[in-house]
Every structure is written in C-alpha cells, then in structure tokens.
Amino acid sequence: MYVMTLCALVVAMSMLLVRAFRGPTIFDRVLATNSFGTKTVLLIAIVCFVTGRIDFLDLALVYAIMNFIASIAVMRFSLEHEFDADEVET
C-alpha cells in the first residue's frame, strides 16, 4: 500500500516538473512549483511513517513553511511587477 502511494506521488511530482519547465505562462510554473512543494511534504511524511523516524516530520513542517513563504513572496512580487514573456526563457 505504501509503495503504491509513493509511486503515485513520484508520478505526480514528475508531471508537475514537466508542467513547471514547459508551462506556457509564469503563473503555470508558479502553481506547478507550489504543488510540487506540497507533494514533497506528503512524500516526506509518508517516508517518516514507513521508516518510523518521527524527526522527519520536523523537516516536512519546515519545508511546508518555506513553500508557503515562497508562494507569498512570488504573489507579492507579481502584484508589484509585471511579468513579461520576454523575461522568461523557455
């Protein structure tokens, strides 16, 4: 059961990486990056549960907080500055 869950998370994370690199707009890339961070927190939590190492939950919480702060920073930046298609290399 846990192996299938881990495999599903890895597949979802790989699809999010494809979206992050090939996204047509910067907002698609930001959303894919945010979703990738959320899936990473889930992956760390499942590995913590499977291995029985409770200290991994601290890492998952720190990573979730960093992901949230980064999302807020990008949204705040997008309010103050305009994203041009010429600035982003595809």
Question: What per-residue confidence (pLDDT) applies to 44?
Answer: 92
Confidence of residue 85 (pLDDT cuts 50, 70, 90): low
Nearest by Cα to 4 from 55, 12, 60: 12
Q: How far apart are CA 76 and CA 37, in angstroms?
A: 18
Q: What is the pLDDT of residues 6-53, one digit of tens each?
A: 899 999 999 999 998 998 887 888 889 999 999 999 999 999 988 998
**Length reported for the chain:** 90
Statement: the pTM of the whole predicted model exceeds 0.95: no
Average pLDDT, the chain: 86
Contact 20, 33 (CB under 8 A): yes
pLDDT, tens digit, 9 for 90 and up, residues 50-76: 899 888 899 999 999 999 999 888 878
